[in-house]
Amino acid sequence: MRPIIPDYLAEALGDVESDRSGEPAGYIPELAAADPERLGVAFAMTDGEVYGAGDIDMEFTIQSISKPFVYALALSDRGFGPVLAKVGVEPSGEAFNEISLESDTGRPLNPMINAGAITVHSLAGAKDLNPTERVEHVLHGLSAFAGRRLRMDEAVCASEMEHAHRNLAIAHMLRSHDVLTQDPRAVVDGYTRQCSVLVTTRDLAMMAATLANRGTNPLSGKQVVPEPVVRQVLSVMFSCGMYDAAGDWATQVGIPAKSGVAGGLIGALPGQIGIATFSPRLDVHGNSVRGVSLFERFSSDMGLHVM
């Protein structure tokens, strides 16, 4: 007998395939050159089984989907107190690259926006790591979430760094408030490297399944981060993961989620499943158009809304 899930997933892809609305991210030239027709979906169960359809083994850069995972690493490495002292947990209701700092302290509102994620990058690993060691620590951690050794796309990283003026400006603001204590350029370089890690849709589903599986990677059986950290991360993904579309997402889809400007999108349902989609055309919020449609359908078809 043929398994039901791959047929269901192929049908779901077929139904969104003709939607050509949105544009690939234009502000990173290497991403603007990506093939906009790519489309994939993967479901990773908490027992390690993966079901997929479409381009699930094609690599693309993780971009902002790295943010919840590096937040998890920083919380594990430094503890909740030091991280929460530097980065809040309130939705900004603004775009991912808005400055969004608390006016009195300069603390970024949450770890999913760039200001928060740049700060979180600086908090990953031990305090005394140099920038190269910190990037290696982040790469090692992201690989543990995926259950395989990941690598970086140097061309995408260089392409973004050439146009990183906004992130550099944010980092200098953070440094002026002493939220960042390291060299702002080195932190933005490390954060951009973090965003340039190559993943497949299958990897992203497994990373999401590691969160769904309360921090234990279903393939390796390794506890990557402790359970209280996962609870914190999924809560912040629920309220802030989709930026200024977070409210629509919470009501219509109702799954803790995170998007990336290369076209990836993940959702993690505690105790059940990690879902990932890939389609490079983005809406005005920087979220994948066909990815959002697919998640809306999965949530409605399978009753995945957490409420």
Residues that bind ligand DON (CB under 6 A): 63-64, 96-97, 114, 160, 167, 195, 259-261, 286
Report, in Å, the least distance between residue 123 CB and ligand DON: 17
Q: Is 64 a known active-site residue?
A: yes
- Per the CB < 8 A criterion, the answer to whether 56 and 264 are in contact is no
Residue type, 55: D
Tokens linked to 90: 């309130």
Q: Is 76 a known active-site residue?
A: no
Residue corresponding to tokens 């299958």: 202
d(CA 115, CA 111): 7
Integer CA distances (angstroms), 296 to 17, 134, 253, 266, 290, in order: 15, 37, 5, 13, 10
The one-character DSSP state at 75 is H
Q: Is 83 a known active-site residue?
A: no
Report, in Å, the least distance between residue 11 CB and ligand DON: 27
Q: List, in sequence order, the alpha helices (H) in 147-288.
A: 154-161, 165-176, 184-195, 201-212, 227-240, 246-252
Q: Pick out the residues of the known binding site for substrate.
A: 64, 114, 160, 167, 191, 243, 261
Q: What percentage of the chain's residues is helix, strand, coil (to nearest 5)?
A: 50, 15, 40
Report, in Å, the least distance between residue 3 CB and ligand DON: 32
Residue type, 151: R
Q: Is 299 a known active-site residue?
A: no
d(CA 127, CA 27): 32
Report, in Å, the least distance between residue 234 CB and ligand DON: 18
* Catalytic member of 16, 66, 67, 92: 67
* Catalytic member of 41, 159, 191, 289: 191
Q: Pick out the residues of the known binding site.
A: 64, 114, 160, 167, 191, 243, 261
Report, in Å, the least distance between residue 2 CB and ligand DON: 36
* Catalytic member of 261, 279, 292, 299: 261
Question: Nearer Cβ to ligand DON, position 114 or 182?
Answer: 114
Q: Is 222 a known active-site residue?
A: no
Instruction: List the one residue out of 14, 36, 41, 13 whose CA is nearest residue 278.
Output: 41
Length of the chain in residues, anyone? Answer: 307
d(CA 153, CA 31): 11
Q: Give the list of residues 6+ apart from residue 1 with CB closer than 8 angstroms, or none.
A: none
Angle at 282 between CA 277 and CA 283, to 5 degrees: 120
Report, in Å, the least distance between residue 52 CB and ligand DON: 22
Which residues are part of the catalytic machinery?
Answer: 64, 67, 191, 243, 261
